[in-house]
């Protein structure tokens, strides 16, 4: 099973790519995928906003074959 991962802003800089193909052995939650990305790329996604197929989702949402998962850093203003 394969999905596309997309990274924005500082995450894109840290990964060194706009997107990656990511192989899964079965459906996983956004949280599980984020943990694997963090381990593989030495990156913290804590507090990231997540979207599956262009819809913001909770980290417990399950990702399926062909989905597009995007990570956005949280933005603070003031």
**CB–CB of 62/27 below 8 Å?**
yes
| Contact (Cβ atoms closer than 8 angstroms) between residue 11 and residue 48 | yes
What's the whole-number mean pLDDT along residues 25-34?
93
54-76 residue pLDDT tens = 999 999 999 999 999 999 998 76
Q: How confident is the model over 36-48, as pLDDT tens digits?
A: 999 999 999 999 9
Q: Is 43 within 8 Å of 11 (Cβ atoms)?
A: yes
Separation CA 17–CA 27 (nearest Å): 24
What pTM value is reported for the model? 0.90
Instruction: Report the phi/psi class of residue 41: left, alpha or beta, with left for phi > 0 and alpha for psi in -120 to 50.
Output: alpha
pLDDT at 69: 97
């Amino acid at each position: 099973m394969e999905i596309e991962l997309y990274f924005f802003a500082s995450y894109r800089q840290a990964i060194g790519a706009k997107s990656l193909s990511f192989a899964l052995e079965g459906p996983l939650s956004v949280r599980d995928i984020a943990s694997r990305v963090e381990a593989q790329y030495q990156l913290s996604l804590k507090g990231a906003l997540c979207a599956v197929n262009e819809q913001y989702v909770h980290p417990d949402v399950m990702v399926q074959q062909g989905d597009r998962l995007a990570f956005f850093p949280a933005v603070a203003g003031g």
